Amino acid sequence: RIVYVNGAYVPEEEATVSIFDRGFLFADAVYEVCAILDGKICEFEGHVERLIRSLGELDMGMPVSKEELLEIHRELIKRNNVEQGAIYLQITRGTADRDFVYKKDMKQTLVMFTQAKGLTEEKAGIRVVSAPDIRWGRRDIKTVQLLASSMCKTMAKAAGKDDAWLVQDGFVTEGSSSNAYIVTKDGKIVTRNLSTSILHGITRKAILRLAAELDMEIEERPFTIAEAQDAAEAFFTAATAFVYPVIEIDGVELNGGKPGPVAKRLNEVYIEESRKSYI
């Protein structure tokens, strides 16, 4: 694989970052992941907008222009010949001797790589378990501080399930790397309202817009695991998962253990719309 590191396209074995990089020492870094569909980038504008916001919240700016960033995305996809998959970018504050205090305007590190994987196959649905949300308080900033999420998902896998839905004060915040939704028995789509408790998903925004266009009723509010277990169906969204059905929550099957119709429809519509707007 050819990856990008600070201005250079190199084979992955040759890409290096300093051990003094603050991304490595302090998780002082933000990231974004866009889906690649038909060799094109989905929702680029939305992801860059969120990236600029994440950087701003951490007192950083963009190391390259939006146009340059798009160019690097396109070049990496081309060099790796990716038809479907993910393109990951990470920006760290940069390299300095270890010190909790950071300096303004450091030379930032920018790395990017692609991951080829199929995105449009039929989705069987996943089984989730709940876990306490032990992440930090600014989940609206997309930092690489992902250890809590990583531990929760690993725990879910060890329990023979697929992912964890995180719970704080009795309510689901989101999935370990996705936004969480239920569809009530009277057909309403419920997903947690935006705040610092969750990541403001780019797919979430698109799906809520599409659902509204399809005249589906939406409620943005917290829900409990018990309400989710009693729902008609459940699903999650994330950039490279699109709309993915959830068929079991803490051992209780939903929709007879089969993907639900709302998740399936929204996934189809999302892929259709992506094919109209990707760049």
Catalytic sites, residue numbers: 142
| Total H helices, total E strands in the chain | 7, 15
Cβ atoms 232, 185 nearer than 8 A: yes
Of 172, 189, 165, residue with least CA distance to 261: 189
Helices marked H in 90-200 — which ranges?
Answer: 147-158
- Tell the residue number behind the tokens 């943005």, with chain if given: 220
Q: Among residues 24 and 88, whose Cβ is nearest to ligand PLP?
A: 88
Q: Is 153 in the site for ligand PLP (CB under 6 A)?
A: no
Q: Is 178 in the site for ligand PLP (CB under 6 A)?
A: yes
Residue 204 as a binder of ligand PLP (CB under 6 A): the answer is yes
> In the Cβ-directed half-sphere of 278, how many Cα atoms lie within 13 Å?
20
Closer residue to ligand PLP, CB minimum distance, 32 or 94: 32
Measured from the CB atom, the residue of 54 and 178 that comes closer to ligand PLP is 178
- Residue placing its CB nearer to ligand PLP in the complex, 161 or 204: 204
Taking contact as CB under 6 A, which single stretch among the options 5-13, 68-76, 120-128, 174-182 is the one that binds ligand PLP?
174-182
Strand order in the sheet with 85-92: 8-11, 2-5, 109-116, 85-92, 29-37, 40-41
Q: Kindly state the smallest distance separating residue 11's Cβ from ligand PLP, in Å.
A: 27
**Smallest distance from the beta carbon of 104 to ligand PLP, in angstroms?**
28
Under the criterion CB under 6 A, does residue 267 sit at the interface with ligand PLP?
no
**258: phi then psi, degrees, rounded to nearest 5:** -120, 150
Q: Which stretch binds ligand PLP (CB under 6 A): 107-115, 125-133, 199-207, 268-276?
A: 199-207
3-state SS assignment for residue 229: helix
51 lies in the binding site for ligand PLP (CB under 6 A): no
Contacts of range 153-158, beta carbons closer than 8 Å, 24 or more positions apart: 153/177, 155/129, 155/131, 156/128, 156/129, 156/131
Angle at 277 between CA 180 and CA 240, to 5 degrees: 35
Q: Which is nearer to ligand PLP, 204 or 264 (CB)?
A: 204
User: Is residue 192 involved in binding ligand PLP (CB under 6 A)?
Assistant: no
Site string for ligand PLP, 214-253 (x = CB under 6 A): -----------------------xxx--------------
Site residues for ligand PLP per CB under 6 A: 174, 177-179, 199, 201-204, 237-239
